[in-house]
Structures are given as C-alpha cells and as structure tokens.
Copies of this chain bind each other. A is one copy, B any other.
Amino acid sequence: MEELTIVIGGEQGEGIESVGEILTKVLSQKGFNLYGFRNFSSRIKGGHSDFNLRVSSGREIYVNAERANLLIAFDQATIDLYKDQMAANSIILYDSKSVNPNNFADLPEDALIIEAPFQQLALECGNSIMKNMVAIGMICGLNQHSPMEFKDVIKDRFSKKGIKIVEMNIEAFEKGHDFVKEKGLYSIPLVPVTDSRKMFLSGNEAMVIGAVAAGCRFMAGYPITPASEILENLIKIMPEYGGIVVQAEDELCSVAMAIGASFAGTRAMTATSGPGVSLMQEAVGLSGAVEIPLVIIDTQRGGPSSGLATKMEQSDLTAMLGGTHGEIPRIIISPSTIQEAMYDMGTAFNLAEQYQCPVFIAADLVLATSKQSTEILDTRKFEMDRGKRVTDEDLLLQEAKVFDRFAFTEDYISPRTIPGQKYGTHHATGIEHGETGHPTEDPINRKKMMIKRMEKINSVTIGEDIKVEGVAEDILIIGFGSTYGAIKEACEQFQASGIKAGLAHLRLLHPFPAKQLERLVSMARQVIVVENNYSGQLANVIKQHVQDHAKIQKLTKFDGTLFKPSDILTFSKELV
C-alpha cells in the first residue's frame, strides 16, 4: 500500500493524544509522510476525541483521507462518527467494555470487526490507563512494523517516570502486539520508504520555530484555544535564545506590550484567536497609525463570540481586514501548509519591519493543530531585513535634534530610529501627525500622511502571492488556509476524470493580489470559492475586486466540520 489511514477515538483523558504522539514519532523516523488531526471538544475530561492519522510512503499530504483503513474505538462515538467513513476491507477494533456491538448495523460489510480487550489487557499490566499502549501494540502488529522502534520511543517517553512505569507500558504494548499476532490479524503492509530526514509538527509548533528563527525575541500572549500552544512553546524555549515571553493579564495588554517592545527595536509578536482579535482591534489601529511593526497570529476558530472554540472556522477575515476603526495599512498572510506556517513567520517579520505596519498571520484551527511531515528547517530562508533603519553614523552626520521619523519619501516608507540612538529621538502618536511625529490637524499634511501610510503597502509581495496549481480551464477552485489539502485532492480527482481543474490558493490576503486573480478567474469557465465560514468572506472580497460576479460560486461550510475533497466534487456537479 502507498497510503493508510489509522483512526483512534475515545473519551478525552483516555490517552488518545499519547497514541498519536508515539505512533507518529516512530512513523516519522521511518521516513513516512504523515498528516494527523485531532478532533476534540471543549471540555477537559470526557467528551469524544479522536486522532486521525494518514500515512503515506510517497508524496507529502496535506489533509486527512476521507476513509479510514484501521479504526480503533474506545467509545461509541468513534463508531458513530466513522461508520460511514471506512475504506474497503478495513479493520475495526473496539473495546466491548465501552462500545455496544448491537449498534453496528451500518458498518460496512467488508470490514473486519474485532472485539479487542484493550482495557482488560491493560488492567492485567496494572492499570487500565495503559489501554492506549495496548492499542499501539495492536497497530504495530497489524501494520507489520517491527516492535523495536516502538519500544524505544515508549521507553524514552516514560523514562522520567521510572523503570517500573516503563516496564508496565512496554508490557501493555506487547500484550496488544501479541493479541493481533496470535489472532493472525494484519493489514496490507505499507511500502517501505527511504526518504530523507523530516520534521513532523503542528502549525502552532511550526510558527514557534519560525518566529525564533526569524529573530523574534519578544512575545506577549494570553491563553486561548487554539493559540495557547504558541505561548506555551515559546515560553519554554525563548530563554535559550535570549528573548522574553510574557503571559499578560489580557489581550489588550499583550498586544500593547508587543507594540512597546517593537518600538524599542525588538521583533515582537502576539498570538490569539477570535475573541482576542476583537479585543486587539484598537491596538492594531495604533500600530498602523504610528507605523510600528507588529506581528499577530490569529488561529481562527469557530465564532462568533465564544462560538465553537475547538472547531474549525475561517471567519475572522473581515475582522482582520477592517476591524479597527478608521483606516490603516496592514498585511495579511495566510499559510496553507505547516511548512508555509514556518517560513511565513520570517516573511511576516521582514514585512512588518520593511513596511512598518501590523502583519496578520491568518492561520486557522486545523492548520494550527494538525500535524504534517515537512522538510527540515532551512535557516537560510530567514534572512533578517530590518527595513529602513538609520545607522548611528548617519544620525551623527545629520545631528538633528528632532528626527523626521515620519518623513515623506518616494516609496512612502520613512527611515526609522530605535531608542538609544543619538539624534534619533522622536514622538510616535496615534493622533495625526507631521513628519516629526508631532500632532497636526493641517488638512494638506493629513492627506499626504494618509496616502503615505495607505499606499506604502501597495508594493508588498510575498513571492507567491497566489499559489496556483493545475490549469483551471474548466474549474478554478479558490481558497485560503488549511483547506488547501482538500482542494488539492479535489483538483486531482477532477483531473483524473478529464476535467481541467486548477486551484488558486490565496497566500497574501491583503494587499489583495487582485490583478493576478482577475486573470485566473477570467480564464476559467467556473469558479468556486471554498471557505469555512457562513458568508463567504473571501468570495466577498474577491467580488470587490473582480467584476465577474456571476461566475463566482461560494462553497461554504460553517458547522465546525472540515472540507473533504468529495464535498467540492459534489458541489461542482450540482452546479452544472
């Protein structure tokens, strides 16, 4: 087999997360390309959770498969949720302690359904909590991996807790392994790979790595799902790199702290999700008005208000585009893969300093929390461009008492000095100001300053502002963020059936790459804009820029579930 999808589900607190971690560690080391997504609900203990892992011996993957080959169910919800999503000849293992086989009516007929005593085997080793290790043993056996690598990872993981715990877990693993071996159960093995070294990590983790590599040395945050991991990971590692991370009392403070640190010259950021974005709106406006660099990650989640905090949505686009009062320059970058999430941090910090304005990373819950195999960090992609900074030497030559921090220039970008630089002192105020930064209400200055601020970003590009794949003569599929994987596979399926489909994934959402998109739209017969929100926010932005409204179709999803390639295929068929 080239590909395989394994799902394990149960109640929160049943160790689903550990299964995912151990499994992916081993498979990643063996060189497989992985994609993993964890479904979870917003309660601490109890409530269903599952981990869906797609393993590929070949190409990189960016989305879960629509069908599972191997399902492990610790709870009934796992069966209920996945019964319609099983691949041909799949294997289903369930624990009869918590799952009722009487409800198996709709399970596919070709599936191999096995009652497996997870809990009991774990208890035999001393504690039912280890049923997740039993499950790993079974997966190892079913997929015919060698147990060695698994045991090493398990040992590693529990070594801190003492030899006794390690042994118990190994025993549980072995019991699971023996169980399937004894029963003679196995699935078709995966084609082995001999691929190069890889990283396997989530979007949140990738953004943390990217931030550190980009020279970010200050982060202030406030916990919020699903952005908290960014704060937590940065707090853990930042001291090693000489930076500072602060958990503030709220988002009003965290964003203002970041602005302050940035004023002082440090690359500074904050990370949040929906409600935090709303609270930060005023400060975003300040950053734009005083032309102080600022990077904000928004890991979008289900809105509005408290909404669906643990579910997927891409519904903060209008808030990022126009949520602050008045008008400011801003840049919005949308990573669509884990790798992009990592490198986009470098781009974001460079643009923030080059253009002296706020930069949003428009991430989303799936991008933030799903994990992908990705290339090893390439530090050469993180060359720091600190923008128009003035050197101490030049300042000494000028020897001006008040530095023209907001000077009108040809490219609308003013030279910038940093506290501590002699002859660089200046005033930064959110009130409209002249070249020295001091307030003025003069209409002529006002007009010039607004134009300076608003038009400076016109030259922004992140290289590939729109990621274009395929030749979209028949169908052009447009999207942004983590829907990339589903759209990509939909395109492939269209192409497989002879339809000329292509995708245009927006990587730069603002300033909007209108011209390029207009050309793409004009060349396609049908255009579908795919997004996880109610109103078709991206489609609406496109309509502002592209005349051909009639051609543009919205495919939206706002129930917290993810797009599958087949959703797009079905929609397109219905259109015709």
Listed in ascending order, the chain A residues whose CB lies under 8 Å from chain B are 41-42, 273-275, 277-279, 281-282, 285-286, 288-290, 300, 302-311, 313, 315-319, 321-328, 429-432, 441, 443-444, 446-447, 450-451, 454, 533-535, 537, 540, 543-545, 547-550, 558-561
Contact = CB atoms under 8 A, between A and B. Distances in A.
A113 B559 CA distance: 72
Contacts of A443: 559-561
A326 B290 CA distance: 28
Given A42-B441, A285-B305, A447-B558, 13 more contacts: A42-B431, A275-B282, A288-B305, A289-B307, A304-B430, A305-B328, A307-B432, A318-B318, A319-B324, A322-B323, A323-B323, A327-B535, A547-B549
Given A274-B325, A278-B325, A323-B281, A289 B304 contact: yes
Contact of A308 (B315, B432, B547): B432
A285 B281 CA distance: 14
A84 B293 CA distance: 42
A277 B451 CA distance: 24
B322 A318 contact: yes
Given A282-B279, A305-B286, A305-B289, A534 B450 contact: yes
A394 to B, nearest CB: 29
25 contacts: A41-B441, A274-B325, A275-B282, A275-B325, A282-B305, A285-B305, A289-B306, A303-B326, A305-B328, A306-B429, A307-B326, A308-B446, A311-B441, A315-B327, A316-B326, A318-B318, A318-B323, A319-B323, A321-B322, A323-B324, A432-B560, A443-B559, A446-B559, A451-B534, A543-B545
Contacts of A537: 322
B311 A325 contact: no
Contacts of A444: 559
Contacts of A319: 281, 322-325
Contacts of A550: 547
A322 B41 CA distance: 27
Contacts of A317: 322
Contacts of A533: 327
A314 to B, nearest CB: 10
Contacts of A274: 325-326
B315 A303 contact: no
Contacts of A282: 275, 278-279, 305
Contacts of A544: 540, 543-544
Nearest to A326: B303
Q: How many copies does the complex hold?
A: 2
Contacts of A290: 305
Nearest to A431: B306
A230 to B, nearest CB: 17
B304 A324 contact: yes
A313 B441 CA distance: 13
A534 B327 contact: yes
Contacts of A304: 285, 288-289, 324-328, 430
B558 A446 contact: yes
Q: Most chain-B Cβ atoms within 10 A of its Cβ — which of A309, A321, A327, A547?
A: A327
A38 B152 CA distance: 79
Contact of A560 (B441, B540, B549): B441
A41 B441 CA distance: 8
A310 B446 CA distance: 13
A441 B328 CA distance: 36
A322 B324 contact: no
Closest 3 A/B residue pairs (Cβ): A303-B326, A318-B322, A305-B430
Q: Most chain-B Cβ atoms within 10 A of its Cβ — which of A318, A322, A537?
A: A322
Contacts of A279: 279, 281-282
Given A306-B430, A441-B311, A277 B325 contact: yes
Contacts of A447: 558-559
B432 A302 contact: yes
A322 B454 CA distance: 20
A288 B317 CA distance: 18
Nearest to A317: B322
A194 to B, nearest CB: 41
Q: Most chain-B Cβ atoms within 10 A of its Cβ — which of A282, A309, A537, A549?
A: A282
Contact of A430 (B307, B318, B321, B327): B307
Contacts of A446: 302, 308, 558-560
B303 A325 contact: yes
A521 B41 CA distance: 48
A527 to B, nearest CB: 14
Contacts of A300: 325
A327 B306 CA distance: 12
Contact of A305 (B310, B313, B326, B547): B326
Nearest to A443: B559
A549 to B, nearest CB: 5
A302 B327 CA distance: 9
Q: Most chain-B Cβ atoms within 10 A of its Cβ — which of A307, A315, A444, A548?
A: A307
Contacts of A328: 304-305
A199 to B, nearest CB: 31
Contacts of A311: 441
A303 B285 contact: yes
Given A558-B447, A560-B446, A321 B324 contact: no
A555 to B, nearest CB: 14
